[in-house]
């Protein structure tokens, strides 16, 4: 079935749309930081804690369990489960930030303990935890599904297109979310909109599952997948030791966590950072600039995937992606506040998007080259688990550092005393922290290239033979 271009690319579109809607929901509130602070009293620290909640259960071990479920139960079961968890978590988050929930006795009870964290934020964080479990499980499931459907074919291109479609989801929500919130005057409306899209994504994956079942039937009929072979290739818990004991795995995992810690947490604060560094432009204007961040990635990721398929040079791409990341964060930290140039802001955002294309486009197709196929799902999940440790801690760290570094900022103190809607935070220290993650990622990328040369991992070789 996957020999038919129409069939395999249709399958890709179905699962990519699920991730497209998932990425929209992840950042639906990112451009609304000022509004949620005004309407629900979420300080930067509260917002950072809420952002970290997406990864908390994954760090506590759920992603390891997700890898075992994926390798034991297969793509179809795991994909439907993960999409259902995304819908359930999104629904809880919607309830948490809704207007009517604020007047309930349950919300009053939530407000009565850990008083620095509003009840709305506690409920939203619970939903975000459940959604995060589903979203990360879905990401690993999609990676394994693409590896299955595009084995020996345009695997890197397919992964690149899937990532490009998902990245456009970030662009779309940074455009749509402020618009819906401004029109309806509430943060809950954009969340409801994305909840409906997630339900559509669940339906899409169910349709893909029907196709995948037919594909397996064909493999069985052709003798390419037999019951005896499936038994020989069955995943065992002891296989986790092979992954944890692999130097190749740890190098890739560390590169992943360092690089993504400077990307995804930055997305939570990026729009507000532009507001502050461009002399208090509106949230809508800041979101309109920041939404171009994923477009640089979406535009060139498929071309990079095709280049990797035909020419290789994956390890080299990782190095250049880290270099661009460092430069962009330093420009945001020191050059943009001095110039207040919107042209510079647009340019740097797009270049950061290009960096975000180079690294994932090279990173994820490299994993099947260093990990056995029967434990590939667990390997992806364990890499995501290590990544989630950083993504759980860093947003809260940035929120704390942002609040602490601005505690004595006269402009911030005056704005809060006056009850102003816009608080002019100084983002210099958080941005330097992001650049520091980039420096560490660069060092790991250089080491990985040396390791590839020494061990012949094939990271610099093309995927299509």
Q: 166 near 16, Cβ under 8 Å?
A: yes
Q: Is residue 11, in this structure, part of any structural domain at all? A: yes
Residue 99 contacts residue 61 (beta carbons within 8 Å): no
Cα separation of 377 and 389, whole Å? 19
The CATH number linked to 18 is 1.20.1250.20
**Residue 178 CA: distances (Å) to CA of 49, 137, 172:** 22, 28, 11
**φ/ψ of residue 76, rounded to 5:** -65, -50
How far is 34 from 40, CA to CA, in rounded Å?
Answer: 10
Domain contains 464: no
Please name which of 458, 395, 459 lies closest in space to residue 132, comparing C-alpha atoms.
Answer: 395
> What angle, 0 to 180 degrees and rounded to 10, lies between the N-to-C axes of helices 264-277 and 283-290?
130
Residues in the chain: 465
Instruction: Give the integer Cα–Cα distance in Å for 67 and 138.
Output: 11
Establish if 307 belongs to a structural domain.
Answer: yes
Q: Kindly state whether residue 228 falls inside one of the protein's structural domains.
A: no
Pair 367, 383: CB distance under 8 Å = yes
**What is the spatial distance between Cα 384 and Cα 391, in angstroms, rounded to a whole number?**
10
DSSP 80-108: HHHHHHHHHHHHHHHHHHSTGGGGSHHHH
Residue 164 lies in a domain: yes
Q: Which two tokens stand for residue 195?
A: 């909840």
Question: Would you say residue 210 lies in a domain?
Answer: yes
Determine the structural domain holding residue 95 and report its residue range: 6-221+236-455
Which sign does the torsion angle of CA 376, 378, 380, 386 carry? negative
Domain count, the chain: 1
How is residue 287 written in tokens? 């979101």
Rounding to the nearest 10 degrees, give the CA dihedral for residues 38, 39, 41, 47: -80
The helices-and-strands tally (H runs, E runs) of the chain is: 22, 0
Please give the chain's pLDDT, 465 residues, in tens.
Answer: 767 778 888 889 999 999 999 989 988 888 887 788 888 888 888 888 888 888 888 888 787 788 778 878 888 899 999 999 999 999 999 998 888 888 888 888 888 887 778 888 899 999 999 999 999 889 888 888 888 888 777 777 788 788 778 878 877 888 888 888 888 888 889 999 999 999 999 999 999 999 888 888 887 777 665 443 444 345 566 667 777 888 888 888 899 899 999 998 898 888 889 999 998 788 778 888 887 887 767 777 777 777 877 787 888 888 999 999 999 999 999 999 999 999 999 999 989 988 887 887 777 777 777 777 667 767 777 887 888 788 888 988 998 899 899 999 999 999 888 877 788 999 999 999 999 999 999 999 999 899 888 888 777 777 666
């Amino acid at each position: 079935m996957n020999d038919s271009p129409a069939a395999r690319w249709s399958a890709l579109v179905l699962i990519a749309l699920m991730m497209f809607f998932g990425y929209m929901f992840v950042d639906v509130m990112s451009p609304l930081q000022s509004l949620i602070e005004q309407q629900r009293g979420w300080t930067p620290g509260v917002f950072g804690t809420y952002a970290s909640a997406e990864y908390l259960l994954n760090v506590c071990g759920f992603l390891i369990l997700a890898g075992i479920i994926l390798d034991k139960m297969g793509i179809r079961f795991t994909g439907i489960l993960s999409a259902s968890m995304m819908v359930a978590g999104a629904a809880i988050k919607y309830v948490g930030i809704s207007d009517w929930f604020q007047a309930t006795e349950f919300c009053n009870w939530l407000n009565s303990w850990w008083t620095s964290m509003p009840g709305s934020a506690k409920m939203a964080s619970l939903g975000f935890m459940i959604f995060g479990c589903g979203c990360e499980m879905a990401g690993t499931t999609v990676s394994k599904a693409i590896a299955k459907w595009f084995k020996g074919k345009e695997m890197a291109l397919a992964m690149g297109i899937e990532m490009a479609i998902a990245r456009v989801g970030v662009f779309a929500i940074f455009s749509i979310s402020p618009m819906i919130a401004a029109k309806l005057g509430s943060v809950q409306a954009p969340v409801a909109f994305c909840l409906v899209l997630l339900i559509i994504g669940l339906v899409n994956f169910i349709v893909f599952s029907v196709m995948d079942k037919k594909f397996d039937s064909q493999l069985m009929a052709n003798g390419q997948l037999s019951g005896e072979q499936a038994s020989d290739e069955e995943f065992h818990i002891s296989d986790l030791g092979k992954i944890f004991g692999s130097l190749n795995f740890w190098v890739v995992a560390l590169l992943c966590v360092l690089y993504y810690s400077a990307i995804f947490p930055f997305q939570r604060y990026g729009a507000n950072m532009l507001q502050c560094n461009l002399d208090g432009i509106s949230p809508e204007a800041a979101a309109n600039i920041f939404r171009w961040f994923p477009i640089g990635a979406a535009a060139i990721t498929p071309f990079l995937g095709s280049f990797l398929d035909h020419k290789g040079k994956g390890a080299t791409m990782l190095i250049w992606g880290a270099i661009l990341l460092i430069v962009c964060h330093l420009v945001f930290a020191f050059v943009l506040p001095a110039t207040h140039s919107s042209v510079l802001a647009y340019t740097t955002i797009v270049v950061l998007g290009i960096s975000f294309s180079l690294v994932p486009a090279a990173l994820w197709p490299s994993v099947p080259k260093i990990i056995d196929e029967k434990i590939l799902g667990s390997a992806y999940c364990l890499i995501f688990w290590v990544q989630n440790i950083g993504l759980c801690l860093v947003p809260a760290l940035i929120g704390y550092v942002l609040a602490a570094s601005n505690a004595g900022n006269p402009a911030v103190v005056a704005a809060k005393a006056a009850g102003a809607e816009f608080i002019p935070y100084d983002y210099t220290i958080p941005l330097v922290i992001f650049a520091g993650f980039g420096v560490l990622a660069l060092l790991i990328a250089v080491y990985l290239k040396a390791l590839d040369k020494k061990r012949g991992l094939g990271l610099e070789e093309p995927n299509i033979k």
